[in-house]
Structure 1
Amino acid sequence: MPYRSISPHGTELLIDPIPSVRSCSVGFWVKRGSCWELPGEEGLAHFIEHTVFKGTAKFPEPQVMAEATDHLGGSLDAFTGKESACFYGKVLKEKLPDLVSILGDLVTTPTFDGEELARERKVILEEISQSEDQPDDWVSELFYSHFWPGSPLAHSILGRREQVGTYGRDEARAFFDKTYRAPNILIVAAGDIEVQPFLDLVQPVLEALPRGLRDDGVRPASGRPRPFVLNTPRKELQQTSLVLGFPAPPHVHPDRVAVGVLSHVLGGGMSSRLFMELREKNALCYQVGTYLTHYRDAGALQISASCAPERARELVRRAAAECAKVREAGITREELDRAKLQLRTNLVFSQESATSRMFSLAYQRLHTDTILSLDQQIAEIEEVSLDQVQRVAREVLDPGALGVSALGVRRSAGIRKEDLAVCAGMGNS
C-alpha cells in the first residue's frame, strides 16, 4: 500500500514507490473542478488551469516556463474536470526536483499578468470553438446540459464564450485565492521515488499553500437527471452523432462495479451486444460503445455512436431494444465471465505504468475516500454475480429515464420519443 500522510494544514500526500520502473509521475490535484463554480464563475476553473502557465514567481514569462518544461526531458500537462483539476508530469528521477519545483509554483505563485491573460483568453475562446466543431465533444456537452438541467454538472467545463471573454486578472485572482488552498490540494507520486526525499522536496510547497478554507467544503448537489430527446440540426455534418444515457450510480455505491460489468456487456468490445447488433448485423455505424461517468452524487451509463442522418432513428430504436432485452432477460454466464476477464485485464495493465498508478491512487482518494489494493479491486470484480447484474440492469436500463442527444439530424428525420418505446423483439429482426 502507498505511503500516506497529511500536512499540519490539511494537504494530503500519497507516495507509491515502484522499484521496477525508472520514471517518476507526480500529480498536484485540486479538489475543486467546474462543479464548484458559483453562478457567474462558469469556466473559471478551466481558465485558471490555462493561465497559471503564463507566469509564476520562479518562471515569470511564458517562454521561461516553456524552456523550464522542455528541460525536464519528460512531460508536463494539466486538465480540468467537473470535480477536480490536475497538474502533473513524468520525468526521470534525476529531474524530479525540477518537476516538483514547477508544479509547486503553478499552484502557489501565479502572477496573472493582465496582458498574458488577454492573450490566453483568446486561446481558450479558440478551444471553445474547436469543441463546438467536434461533433463527439459537442453532442456530449448537449447531453449533460439537458440530463442534469440547472445543476453544476450541466454547464460546460470550458464555460460560455460570452462569459469567458470577460475574465481578467481580478476574476482569476479571486477564484485562485479561494480555491488553491492547503486542504484542497492532494499530492500523489508514483514510480522511482523514495518517500523521505520526496517529502523533503514538497515541503516548501506545503509551507507556501494558504491555510484554511474559504468555502464550506460542500458543493451544490447535482440534482435529479431527467429524460429528454434533443435534436440539434447541423447542416455541415455528414453524420449524426448520438449519446443515449441512463442514470447510473455515483462514485461510492455498492452496485458501481456491477454496473461496470453491465456497461462492458452492452458496449465494451467487439462481441458486445450493441456492437454486434448495430454494426455487425445491421451496418448502422462504424463505431459504438458505452462508457460510465461517476460523480459524487450522480452518474450516467452512456451509449455513443455516429451514423448517417437517415439511419439515426433506426439506430436509436435498435439500441433501445437491445437495452430492453438485457433488462428483461439479463446476460449469459459467458458474457459475465468475458466482461470480468476484460475488466481484470484492463485493471492489471493500468497498474504497470507509474502514471496510471498515480492517476488510480488519486481517483480512489478523491472520489471514494479509500484506497484498495490491486487484489482488493480484482476481488470486487470477481464478486459480481449474474443475479446482481440482472438486478442493476432492471434498475439502470429504465426506458422511462433515458436521455437522447442527437447532433447533425435532419429536421424531417429527428429522434422521437416513440423511438425509445420499442419492444425487445426488435433486436431479433
Structure 2
Amino acid sequence: MYQIFELKNKAKVIFAPRKETEAVTLLVMFNVGSRDEDRAVNGVSHFIEHLFFKGTKKRPNTQIISQELDKIGASFNAFTGKDYTGYYIKVVKEKAEVAFDILSDMLFNSLFKKSEIDRERGVIVEEIKMYKDNPLFYIGDLLEETVYQGHQLGRDIGGTAKIINNIPRAEIIKYRDSFYEPKRMIIGLAGNISKPKAAQLLDRYFKKRFGKPAKHDRLDFVDQQKAARIKVHYQKTDQVQMSLGFTAIGRSSGDYLAQVILATILGGNMSSRLFINVRERQGLAYSIRAGIDEHQDISCFYINGGLAKQNVTLAYRLIIRELNKIKKEPVSNEELKKAKDFLVGKLALNIEESFDYISWLIKQYIDVGIIKDLATVKKEINQVTTSQVQQLAKDIFQQDKLNLAIIGPYKDLIYFNKMINQIKL
C-alpha cells in the first residue's frame, strides 16, 4: 500500500512502507528533463544531475559525499530523462536518516563551484562520446532524432560537446533555480520505515523552500510527418544496426497497455514473432526486439536488429511482413493471453525491489496524476482485446509514418531509399 500527501512547501510525497525488507529507498524526482531545455542549453538537465554530487556547504567535495555513503553500504545514483530527473539513496533501515540528510543537503545546498563545473565538462563530453561510439547505445538516439525531427524530444539528453564546453555557470544556475522547486518535486519513500519516522525526517530535511519557479509550458509533440524518413550514420562496423520507428501513443493514453501488448507480441520476448521468424528460423540476427521508448504524451514504437550487411534487406522484408500481418489478421486469443501473462509476471517481478517500486509509483503520478496498484493494472491488462491490438497496429504501422535509422558502413541513403520503396507497409 502507499499514501500520497503534501508538505508545507507544496512538494508531494509518495510513502510506500514495506516491513518485509531491511532496506529504505529515498527517491526524489523532478518533473523536468531535456525536453524542457532551449536549444542553446541542450544538455543542461543532465549537467545539473552531475553537479549535485560535487559538493555542498557541509560536504564540500564529491569524495566526502561518496565516503559517507560508502561507509554505510549505500546504493546511490541519479538519472536524467527527457521527461524527468531523479536522485536516490538506498540504505539499510537503521541508516534512513543518513539518506535524508545527504540527499536533502545535495539538492538544497550544492555549491556548483566554477572549478567543479569546468572539470565536469570534460567528464560529460567523454560520456557523450562513449554513447555515440557504441552503435547499440547510439541507434536509439539516432532513431528519436528522426522520429521527433525538429522537436526537443529529438535532441540528445547529454547535449553536444560544443554546448557542454561553453555553457556559462550563470545559465546553469538559472536553469536549476527555475525548475528545481517544490511544486515540481516528488519525494518517494519506500521500504522498512514507519510513517511517524518518515514524517519526522521529511519535516526535518525537506521543508525548505527553494528555487524561483519558471513560467514554462512544456511543448507537446505534434506529428507532421507526411513521408518516410531515413537517417544513416556512417561507422565502419562489422554489424549493421537497423531501427524502424513510428510515432505512437504516450503513457497517459487509455490504450497504452494495448500498445505494450502489441510490442510484446511482435518482439518483447524470446517467443515473440520477430524473435522466432528473424532469429530462430532464419538466423539473421542475434538481437531482434520491439519496444516502446515512452514519454508522457507521445512514444516511439521501435524495432531494432543487429545484422550482417548482406542480411539487411531480407531482415527488413521479414519485419515488414510481420507488421503487415498483425495489421490484417487479428491476434489469436491464445497469443493474446500469453502476452498478457508475460506482462503481468514481468511487472510483478520488476517492482519487487524498493527502488523499482517507488519509481513505478512516482512515474505514474507525474504522468497522469493518479496511481494504480498492481491489481488494478493487472485487471486493465486482462481487459485488452484483440481488436484494440489490431487497431493500434493499423494506426501505428503506416508507410508514410515510417522512420528508419541505420548505423553501419554506408555513406548515403540510396540503398535504403530503394529498399523501403520496394518493400512497403
Query: Would the TM-score normalized by the shorter structure come out above 0.5?
Result: yes
Contact conserved, 2:178 with 2:211, CA < 8 A, in 1?
no
Superposition deviation, residue 207 in structure 1: 2.7
Aligned pairs for 1:10-49 within 5 A: 10-49=10-49
Superposition deviation, residue 304 in structure 1: 1.1
Superposition deviation, residue 297 in structure 1: 2.0
Distance in 1 between the 2:421 and 2:261 partners?
23
3-state DSSP of counterpart to 2:152: coil
Q: Which AA in structure 2 matches 1:43?
A: G
CA 164–423 in structure 1, closer or farther in 2 if over 3 Å, else same: closer
1:159-189 residue CA offsets vs partner (Å, 9 max, x unmatched): 0111111134222211111111111111001
Distance in 1 between the 2:331 and 2:157 partners?
36
The residue that corresponds to 1:91 in the other structure is 91
Distance in 1 between the 2:182 and 2:418 partners?
49
Distance in 2 between the 1:127 and 1:144 partners?
19
Distance in 1 between the 2:39 and 2:159 partners?
11
Distance in 1 between the 2:293 and 2:321 partners?
22
Distance in 2 between the 1:414 and 1:52 partners?
47
Residues 335-344 or 57-66, more deviating: 57-66
The residue that corresponds to 2:222 in the other structure is 223
CA 409–311 in structure 1, closer or farther in 2 if over 3 Å, else same: farther
Contact conserved, 1:141 with 1:156, CA < 8 A, in 2?
yes
3-state DSSP of counterpart to 1:342: helix
TM-score (structure 1 length as normaliser):
0.94
The residue that corresponds to 1:427 in the other structure is none
Superposition deviation, residue 340 in structure 1: 0.5
CA 5–174 in structure 1, closer or farther in 2 if over 3 Å, else same: same
The residue that corresponds to 1:74 in the other structure is 74
Superposition deviation, residue 131 in structure 1: 0.8
The residue that corresponds to 2:389 in the other structure is 389
Distance in 2 between the 1:211 and 1:132 partners?
34
Q: Which AA in structure 1 matches 2:416?
A: I
Distance in 2 between the 1:180 and 1:205 partners?
16
The residue that corresponds to 2:128 in the other structure is 128
Superposition deviation, residue 331 in structure 1: 1.5
Work out whether 1:303 is the aligned partner of 2:337: no
Distance in 1 between the 2:421 and 2:356 partners?
38
Superposition deviation, residue 65 in structure 1: 1.4
3-state DSSP of counterpart to 1:14: strand
Distance in 2 between the 1:273 and 1:399 partners?
20
Q: Which AA in structure 1 matches 2:229?
A: F
Residues 397-406 or 43-52, more deviating: 397-406
Gaps of 5+ in 2: none
Q: Which AA in structure 2 matches 1:228?
A: R
Contact conserved, 1:2 with 1:15, CA < 8 A, in 2?
yes
Residues 336-345 or 355-364, more deviating: 355-364
Work out whether 1:110 is the aligned partner of 2:107: no
Contact conserved, 1:225 with 1:247, CA < 8 A, in 2?
no
Superposition deviation, residue 72 in structure 1: 3.1
CA 30–199 in structure 1, closer or farther in 2 if over 3 Å, else same: same
The residue that corresponds to 2:9 in the other structure is 9
Work out whether 1:320 is the aligned partner of 2:320: yes
3-state DSSP of counterpart to 2:90: strand
Residues 121-130 or 413-422, more deviating: 413-422
CA 159–225 in structure 1, closer or farther in 2 if over 3 Å, else same: farther
Distance in 2 between the 1:414 and 1:84 partners?
38
Contact conserved, 1:230 with 1:406, CA < 8 A, in 2?
yes
1:191-217 residue CA offsets vs partner (Å, 9 max, x unmatched): 11211211211224433231662223x
Identical aligned residues as a percent? 27
Contact conserved, 1:76 with 1:88, CA < 8 A, in 2?
yes
Superposition deviation, residue 348 in structure 1: 1.3
1:275-303 residue CA offsets vs partner (Å, 9 max, x unmatched): 11111121110011111122222111111
CA 408–418 in structure 1, closer or farther in 2 if over 3 Å, else same: closer
Distance in 1 between the 2:137 and 2:308 partners?
18
Superposition deviation, residue 259 in structure 1: 0.7
Distance in 2 between the 1:100 and 1:415 partners?
53
Distance in 1 between the 2:377 and 2:422 partners?
37
Aligned pairs for 1:150-189 within 5 A: 150-189=150-189
Contact conserved, 2:72 with 2:91, CA < 8 A, in 1?
yes
Distance in 2 between the 1:365 and 1:110 partners?
27
1:278-334 residue CA offsets vs partner (Å, 9 max, x unmatched): 111211100111111222221111111111122222212221121111111132222
TM-score (structure 2 length as normaliser):
0.95
3-state DSSP of counterpart to 2:88: strand
The residue that corresponds to 1:416 in the other structure is 417
Provide the alpha-carbon RMSD of the alignment: 1.7
Residues 411-420 or 106-115, more deviating: 411-420
Superposition deviation, residue 363 in structure 1: 1.2
Distance in 2 between the 1:183 and 1:165 partners?
31
Distance in 2 between the 1:361 and 1:31 partners?
14
Superposition deviation, residue 256 in structure 1: 0.5
Work out whether 1:340 is the aligned partner of 2:352: no
Distance in 2 between the 1:192 and 1:225 partners?
49
CA 248–423 in structure 1, closer or farther in 2 if over 3 Å, else same: closer
Distance in 2 between the 1:168 and 1:41 partners?
9
Superposition deviation, residue 102 in structure 1: 1.3
1:78-126 residue CA offsets vs partner (Å, 9 max, x unmatched): 0100010000121101111111111111211110111111111110010
Distance in 2 between the 1:7 and 1:420 partners?
57
Superposition deviation, residue 411 in structure 1: 4.5
Superposition deviation, residue 127 in structure 1: 0.2
The residue that corresponds to 1:283 in the other structure is 283
Superposition deviation, residue 414 in structure 1: 3.7
CA 205–184 in structure 1, closer or farther in 2 if over 3 Å, else same: farther
